[in-house]
Each structure stands twice: as structure tokens, then as C-alpha cells.
Amino acid sequence: MDKRIAALTSWSRTHDRKKRTQPARDAFLARFEREVDPDEQLAPAERRQRAEHAKRAYMLRLAKRSAQARRKR
């Protein structure tokens, strides 16, 4: 419970939420960049675009599995 209170207090004092979470979002996208171009052969813009598509596909798969689980209940 104390950790949750501390987290909520911390977020209540955060002025720029986007800036605070940027490192995590960058790391998440880097995962997909490594997936689509493990040898770093693509141009950075192309790698980023493909990574964004891979991330969207990943999110859609998660949503599909979530919907299937809800239907089972």
C-alpha cells in the first residue's frame, strides 16, 4: 500500500507526464526496431516506420486475446 501511495504522490507532482514516460516509450519501440531490423541494415526512418507497424500489430494481438478472454467469461 505504501508503494502505491508513493507512486500516486509522485505522479501528482509530475508536471510533464509525457517527458517522464518518454524513456520507457523509447525502449519499448527499440524492442520492435530490433525485431524488424536485427542487423541494422535499414535506414533509420524505414526502421522506425516498420517498428511502428510491428508495435501496432503487437497491440492488436493483445486486444484480440483480451477480447477472447472476456468472451470466455
pLDDT in tens, 11-50: 999 999 999 999 999 999 999 999 999 999 999 999 999 9
For residue 59, the model assigns a pLDDT of 97
Confidence tier at 73 by pLDDT (50, 70, 90): confident
Residue whose C-alpha is closest to residue 37's, from 52, 26, 25: 52
